[in-house]
Amino acid sequence: MQDIELELNGQRVRLAVSRREHLADALRQRCGLTGTHLGCEHGVCGACTVRVDGAAVRGCLMLAVQADGARVRTIEGEGDDPVMRALQDAFVERNALQCGYCTPGFLLTAAELIALDPDPSRESIRAYLSGNLCRCTGYQAIVDAVELAARRLREAPSTDGRAR
């Protein structure tokens, strides 16, 4: 076991982790943050997406010991973020989820896209989300929802970002 210290969703935490444990397992099993889902555990599906030092990464492709000293944010830490709020509302409205297993990963990836490009085309939404797999929706509704959230955020930048 090895001790690591990180900033997790804005809080400093100290954890003892196994050296061979990946970050997503540590978040789920040691921190109880089960919003980070494990699908394939080899980097294909994107269900385990978390943000490390500001960038979306695969939680299963980083060892927990590598997060020592890092800033990590999971879906649980994004609840007050106006972009995330707008995305979640749009996902519900457009039925962009069914079982919901892939949803945290899609939301985090889509939030990163909107931060980079507030007015993404459908094509660029598809390209940016291409590393996240959904087995229920067929993607059309997810692209719709991201497009809708981005539009609302552009139209109401001065409010708290809540979709109206």
Partner 1 sequence: MKPAPFAYVRAQSVEHALDVLAEHGDDALVLAGGQSLVPMLNLRLVQPAVVLDINALRGLAAIDTDPASGALRIGTLVRHREIASHQTVAARAPLLHDAAPWIAHPAVRHRGTLGGSLALADPAAEWPACAVALDATIRLASRDGGERSVPASAFFQGLYQSERRADELLVGCDFAPPGDDAVFSFRELARRHGDYAAVGLALSARGRPGAWTAMRVVFFGVGDTPVQASACAAALIAGVDFPEAQARLEGELDPRPDLWFSAQAKRHLAVHLLREAWRDLGNPMAGE
Residues that bind partner 1 (CB under 8 A): 2, 19-22, 25, 41-43, 46, 49, 55-58, 60-63, 65-66, 109, 112-113, 126-128, 130-132
User: CB-wise, 25 or 89, nearer to partner 1?
Assistant: 25
What separation, in Å, do the N-terminal and C-terminal C-alpha atoms of the chain show? 48
Q: Compute how many other C-beta atoms are within 10 angstroms of the C-beta atom of residue 42.
A: 9
**Edge-to-edge strands of the sheet including 71-73?**
11-17, 2-8, 71-73, 49-52, 55-58
Answer whether 19's CB lies under 8 Å from 65's CB. Answer: yes
Smallest gap from residue 41 Cβ to partner 1 (A): 4
Between 2 and 159, name the residue whose CB sits nearer to partner 1.
2
From the CB of 37, what's the least distance to partner 1, in Å?
Answer: 14
Query: Which residue's CB is nearer to partner 1, number 41 or number 81?
Result: 41
